[in-house]
């Protein structure tokens, strides 16, 4: 059985905050998975280069906030 590509998996953690996360894959749709009793998870400023990532939530997850998923322009973190 083939597994789908995953950029990030959060499983059974509480009070997680992720800011400025970049997903890069030109060929596959990456997956951001929040699963198995994860709660109070916050994503802020998720960027992607290539195909837009898919967010998947497990049955027992709750209190998940995703504020922004957008195409990366390459200038977000320039100094």
Contact 26, 52 (CB under 8 A): no
By CB atoms closer than 10 A (0-12, 13-18, 19+), residue 4 is: exposed
CA–CA gap between residue 39 and residue 45 (Å, rounded): 19
Asked whether residue 20 is domain-assigned, the answer is yes
Number of domains in the chain: 1
pLDDT at 79 exceeding the cut of 50: no
- For 7-39, the pLDDT digits (tens) are 999 999 999 999 999 999 888 888 899 999 999
pTM for this prediction: 0.78
Tell me whether residue 44 is in a domain: yes
Backbone φ and ψ of 14, nearest 5°? -120, 150
* Host domain of residue 24: 6-71
Contact between residue 11 and residue 35 where contact means Cβ atoms under 8 Å apart = yes
């Amino acid at each position: 059985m083939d597994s789908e590509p995953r950029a990030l998996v959060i499983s059974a953690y509480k009070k997680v905050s992720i800011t400025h996360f970049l997903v890069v894959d030109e060929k596959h749709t990456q997956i951001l998975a929040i699963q198995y009793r994860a709660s109070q998870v916050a994503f802020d400023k998720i960027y992607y280069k290539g195909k837009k990532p898919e967010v998947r939530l497990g049955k027992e997850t709750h209190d998940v906030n995703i504020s922004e998923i957008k195409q990366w322009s390459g200038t977000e973190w320039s100094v």
